[in-house]
C-alpha cells in the first residue's frame, strides 16, 4: 500500500493530522484528499464527509481571497474535484453543498445585518425600518451619484456596525420585503472587485432563485471606501464561515448520538429487532434503547464484505483493532454487555427468521432525494423479506447522508468489491473459469422503507425531500462536474 504520510497507512486519521499541520500547503492537502478518495483509502459516508469538511475549513481559513464570489467559486471547484475523485460517495457532495450554503448564508446575513444596523442606528425603532428603506429606493444607481445622495450620518457609524455584525445575528429583523422592492429598482451590476466584497456573487448564479436585494450592502459599504473596514468584514465573514464549517463537523460527530436519542420512541420491550452489517449508528441507537428496555437483536453478518466488522461489533473491539473511521468511539460497550441477547446469523437465514422479527433497523450509505437508499449488499433482499412479512423497516441516517441528487441511474451508484472475498485463493484453480460477483451495495427503493430517522427526528419517506430542501440551497444543487467544462 502506498504510504505518502510515512509510517501510518493513509487514512482519515493521517489526513486529519496533515490537514491541520501548518507545514502542509492547502494545494497538497487537496491533492492528498483527492488521491485518498481515488484509492478508496477514505471510504464510507462519515469519513468522507469529515475529510471533506476538514479540507474545506482549511481552504476557507487560508484563503486570501478578498472577494466572496471567488471564495465560493474556489470551494465549488475543489468540491468538483473531490466529487469526481469519488462520485459514489455522495456525502462528499453533500458537505460541499452545505459549506457553500454556509458561505452564502453568512454573506446574506451580513448584508441583512448591515442594513438593519443602519436602520437601528438611524431611527432606533424597527417597525420604521421598511419605511426608511423604501425612502431610499429611488436612489440613482451609479456610483458617483450614490456618494452624493447618501446621508453622511451613516459614514461615522460604519465601524461600530461592522462590529455588531458578528454578535447580533439572531436579533436581526427580517427585511426581505423592503429588500425586494429595493433590488428591483437597483439592478445595475456595477460590482468591481473592491466594491463587491460583500456583494452577492451574481456571476455565479445559475439559478433564478438568487436572493434579491443583493446589491444594497455593497453600495453602503462603497460609501465608506475604507479598505480597512472592508478587510475586517471579510475576515469576520471568513471567521463565521469557518465557524459554520465547524458546526457541520460537530454535527457529523453528534449525528449518531442524536439519532440514538430517538431510540426509546421506537423500541418497545421484548421486541425482536433485526439488523444487518456493522454500523456505529445502529449500535448506538440500540445501546441507547438497551439502557431502558429489554429486547433481542438478530444480527445478520453481511458476509463477505462486512462480516469481520460485524463480528467485532458483537464480540466487542479491542484497542488494536481500532478503525480510524470510528476514532475514539470504538471502545464502547457491546450490546451483549448491556444485557441484550444478540443472535448472530448468516445472511441466508434472514427469511427464515423474519416472521418473528418486529422491526428491521438498517444503516445506510446514502439516502437519495426520493427516499431510495444505497445500503450494504444484502439489504434489498432483507427489506423485501420484511415487506412481505409486513415488518417495518427503519432506516437510520444522519442528515449528512441525505443527498439532493436524484437517482436517474441507480446502477451508477453501485460498486463491486474484492472478488477474493467471495472465492479465496485456495479455490484459485477455478477462478479463471468463472465470473465472480461481489457487490458492495444494494439499491433499496423507497417502497421498502417504512421510516427514516435522522438526527432531526423520524420522517415519513414522503417528507424527506423537505429535510433535503432545508439543508441545501437551490443554487448549489447542480454541482455537476460538467459545469467545469462549460
Partner 1 sequence: AHAAPFPEEPKRENKNVALFDHLYGNPRRTTLAGASKDVHPAVLALGLQMRNYVICGSSARCVATMLAFKRVIEAYVTPPQNSLPRHLTTHLSSQIEYLVSCRPLSISMGNAIRWLKVKISEVDVSTEESAAKTDLCNAIDNFITEKITVADQVIEKEGSIRYEMATKFKVIVVDSRPLFEGKNLARALADLGIEVQYSLTHGISHVIKDATKVFLGAHAMMSNGRLYSRVGTALVAMTAREADVPVIVCCESIKYTERVALDSFVHNEVAPPEELLIQGETSSPLLKWLDVPNLQLLNLMYDLTPAEYITMVIDESGYLPPSSVPFMQRLSVNS
Binding residues vs partner 1 (CB under 8 A):
302-305, 307-308, 311-312, 314-317, 321, 334-337, 339-353, 355-356, 376-378, 380-381, 384-385, 388, 414, 422-423, 427, 430, 433-439, 442-443
Least separation in angstroms between residue 116's CB and partner 1 is 55
HEC-encoded secondary structure of 318-371: CHHHCCCCCHHHHHCCCCCCCCCEEEEECHHHHHHHHCCCCEEEEECCEECCCC
The cell numbers describing 154, all together, are 451613516
Nearest distance in Å: CB 420, partner 1: 12
> For residues 194 and 343, which CB has a smaller minimum distance to partner 1 in the complex?
343
Nearer to partner 1, 378 or 407 (CB): 378
Q: How far is the CB of 345 from partner 1 (least distance, A)?
A: 5
Q: How far is the CB of 354 from partner 1 (least distance, A)?
A: 9
* Residue placing its CB nearer to partner 1 in the complex, 118 or 303: 303
**Is 122 or 417 the residue whose CB approaches partner 1 more closely?**
417
Q: How far is the CB of 450 from partner 1 (least distance, A)?
A: 18
Element (H, E) at 68: helix 68-85
As a whole number of angstroms, the distance between CA 452 and CA 399 comes to 10
Q: How far is the CB of 381 from partner 1 (least distance, A)?
A: 5
Beta strands in 26-92 (DSSP E): none
Q: In the complex with partner 1, which residue's Cβ is closer, 287 or 376? A: 376
Give the angle 1-95-71 at the CA atoms, nearest 5°: 105
CB distance 80 to 73 below 8 Å: no
Helix axes 227-260, 280-290, angle to 10 degrees: 60
Q: How far is the CB of 98 from partner 1 (least distance, A)?
A: 31
User: Of 104 and 306, which CB lies nearer to partner 1 in the complex structure?
Assistant: 306
Q: Cα-flanking dihedrals φ and ψ of residue 384, to 5°?
A: -65, -45
Contacts 24+ apart (CB under 8 A), 389-392: 389/354, 389/355, 389/357, 391/274, 391/354, 391/357, 391/358, 391/359, 391/360, 392/359, 392/360, 392/450, 392/451
- Beta-bridged to residue 375, according to DSSP, are 442
- Pick between residue 78 and residue 375 the one whose CB is nearest to partner 1: 375
Amino acid at each position: 500500500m502506498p504510504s505518502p504520510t510515512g509510517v501510518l497507512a493513509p487514512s482519515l486519521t493521517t489526513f486529519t493530522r496533515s490537514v491541520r499541520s501548518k507545514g502542509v500547503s492547502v494545494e497538497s492537502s487537496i491533492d492528498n484528499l483527492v488521491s485518498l478518495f481515488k484509492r478508496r483509502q477514505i471510504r464510507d459516508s462519515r469519513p468522507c464527509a469529515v475529510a471533506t469538511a476538514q479540507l474545506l475549513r482549511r481552504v476557507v481559513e487560508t484563503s486570501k481571497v478578498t472577494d466572496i464570489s471567488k471564495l465560493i467559486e474556489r470551494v465549488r471547484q475543489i468540491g468538483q474535484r473531490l466529487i469526481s475523485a469519488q462520485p459514489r460517495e455522495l456525502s462528499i457532495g453533500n458537505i460541499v453543498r452545505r459549506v457553500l450554503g454556509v458561505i452564502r448564508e453568512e454573506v446574506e446575513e451580513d448584508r441583512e445585518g448591515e442594513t438593519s444596523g443602519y436602520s437601528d442606528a438611524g431611527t432606533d425603532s424597527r417597525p420604521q425600518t421598511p419605511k426608511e428603506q423604501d425612502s431610499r429606493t429611488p436612489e440613482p444607481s451609479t456610483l458617483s451619484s450614490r456618494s452624493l445622495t447618501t446621508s453622511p450620518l451613516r459614514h461615522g457609524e460604519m465601524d461600530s456596525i461592522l462590529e455588531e455584525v458578528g454578535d447580533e445575528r439572531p436579533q436581526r429583523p427580517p427585511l426581505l420585503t423592503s429588500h425586494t422592492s429595493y433590488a428591483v429598482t437597483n439592478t445595475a451590476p456595477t460590482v468591481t472587485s473592491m466594491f463587491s466584497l460583500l456583494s452577492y456573487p451574481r456571476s455565479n448564479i445559475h439559478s433564478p432563485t438568487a436572493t434579491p436585494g443583493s446589491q444594497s450592502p455593497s453600495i453602503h459599504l462603497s460609501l465608506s471606501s475604507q479598505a480597512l473596514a472592508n478587510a475586517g468584514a471579510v475576515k469576520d465573514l471568513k471567521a463565521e464561515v469557518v465557524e459554520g464549517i465547524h458546526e457541520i463537523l460537530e454535527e457529523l460527530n453528534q449525528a449518531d448520538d442524536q439519532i440514538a436519542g430517538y431510540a426509546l420512541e421506537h423500541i418497545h420491550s421484548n421486541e425482536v429487532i433485526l439488523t444487518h452489517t456493522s454500523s456505529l449508528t445502529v449500535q448506538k441507537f440500540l445501546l441507547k434503547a438497551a439502557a431502558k428496555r429489554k429486547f433481542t437483536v438478530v444480527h445478520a453478518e453481511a458476509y463477505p464484505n462486512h462480516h469481520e466488522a460485524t463480528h467485532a461489533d458483537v464480540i466487542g473491539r479491542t484497542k488494536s483493532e481500532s478503525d480510524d473511521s470510528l476514532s475514539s468511539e470504538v471502545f464502547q460497550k457491546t450490546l451483549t454487555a448491556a444485557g441484550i441477547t444478540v443472535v448472530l446469523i448468516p445472511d441466508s437465514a434472514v427469511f427464515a427468521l423474519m416472521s418473528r422479527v418486529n422491526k428491521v433497523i438498517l444503516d445506510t450509505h446514502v439516502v437519495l432525494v426520493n427516499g431510495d437508499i444505497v445500503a450494504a449488499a444484502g439489504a434489498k433482499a432483507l427489506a423485501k423479506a420484511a415487506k412481505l412479512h409486513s415488518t417495518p423497516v427503519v432506516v437510520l441516517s444522519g442528515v449528512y447522508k441525505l443527498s439532493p441528487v436524484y437517482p436517474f441511474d441507480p446502477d451508477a451508484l453501485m460498486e463491486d468489491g474484492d472478488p477474493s472475498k467471495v472465492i479465496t485463493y485456495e479455490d484459485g484453480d477455478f477462478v479463471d473459469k468463472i465470473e465472480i460477483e461481489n457487490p458492495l451495495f444494494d439499491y433499496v427503493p423507497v417502497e421498502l422503507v417504512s421510516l427514516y430517522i435522522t438526527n432531526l427526528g423520524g420522517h415519513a419517506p414522503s417528507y424527506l425531500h423537505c429535510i433535503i430542501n432545508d439543508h441545501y440551497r437551490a443554487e448549489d444543487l447542480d454541482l455537476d462536474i460538467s459545469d467545469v467544462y462549460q
